[in-house]
Amino acid sequence: MKTADLISALAADTAPVKPVRVTTRLAAACLAGALATGVVLTAWLGLRPLGEAVQTSAFWMKAGYTLALALAGFLLVSRLARPGGRPGRVLTIVLLAVAVMAGLSAIELMRAGPGAMRPLMMGQSASVCSLRILALSIPAYFGAIFVLRRLAPTRLALTGAAAGLLAGGVGASVYGLYCGETAATFVVIWYTLGITASTALGALIGSRLLRW
């Protein structure tokens, strides 16, 4: 086909289009992903007694950390969803969240003294925590991919990583409704590991799934 013919064919097909609202679509996908994850969690592990949990600072510390990472992922995905999108300064949110959490953990470890380090690090569920978070990140990840496939990301691995970060943050936030670990040290190690795994896998899978 001649390029000139192609152009006239395309020009003939110019129905007015509404600009897409990236953040609205992505927020809807996240919400749906979070709800699905909540259902999975309830059926799989159950919830912990939330009435007591919400009165503890540990609950909000964990929720704040994981939601901050989810928010960073959300902003990254919505920037990268369009051609030429760049991560910009959103990455500072990630660094800041991890730094604050690491700081809290350092204070906790210093107060506890050398003998009590191990329980703070390992808690009751160190061997399963990261893997569970990774598993719970799956619904939100595919929600984000579903939205992104209708948009036009041009840096696929990076966009996939951002979707993985978003999904890891959502998955970990939902997991916080079950997980009774209260130590900042535990969270900064095992939660971060789970979300990092989700980000890395997201990049790996995303660079294939997002092609257009």
Nearer to another protein, 34 or 148 (CB): 148
Residue 200 CA to residue 157 CA, distance in Å, equals 9
Among 16, 51, 114, 115, binds another protein (CB under 8 A): 16
Q: How far is CA 151 from CA 22, 38, 82, 146, 156, in A?
A: 8, 27, 7, 9, 12
The distance between the two most distant Cα atoms of the chain, rounded to a whole number of Å, is 77
Q: Please give the size of the binding site for another protein, defined by CB under 8 A.
A: 27
Closest CA to 62 of 179, 193, 162, 168: 179
Q: DSSP label at 114?
A: G
Residue type at position 141: Y
154 scored as a contact of another protein (CB under 8 A): yes
Q: Considering only residues 55-84, where is the footprint of another protein by CB under 8 A? A: 81-84
Among 12, 43, 110, 113, binds another protein (CB under 8 A): 12
Q: Is 84 left (phi over 0), alpha (psi -120 to 50) or beta?
A: left
Piece of the chain touching another protein by CB under 8 A; list 29-37, 54-62, 134-142, 147-155: 147-155
Nearer to another protein, 81 or 101 (CB): 81
Q: Least distance from C-beta 157 to another protein, angstroms?
A: 11
Q: Least distance from C-beta 24 to another protein, angstroms?
A: 13
Token representation of residue 42: 């309830």
Among 6, 28, 91, 99, binds another protein (CB under 8 A): 6
Residue 18 CA to residue 138 CA, distance in Å, equals 31
Among 11, 46, 110, 111, binds another protein (CB under 8 A): 11
Q: Quickly count: other Cβ atoms within 10 Å of residue 77's Cβ.
A: 32
Q: Least distance from C-beta 204 to another protein, angstroms?
A: 15
Q: Considering only residues 162-201, where is the footprint of another protein by CB under 8 A? A: none
Q: Considering only residues 84-143, where is the footprint of another protein by CB under 8 A? A: 84-85
* 54 phi, psi to nearest 5 deg: -70, -10
Which residues lie near another protein (CB under 8 A)?
A: 1, 3-4, 6-8, 10-20, 81-85, 151-152, 154, 211-212
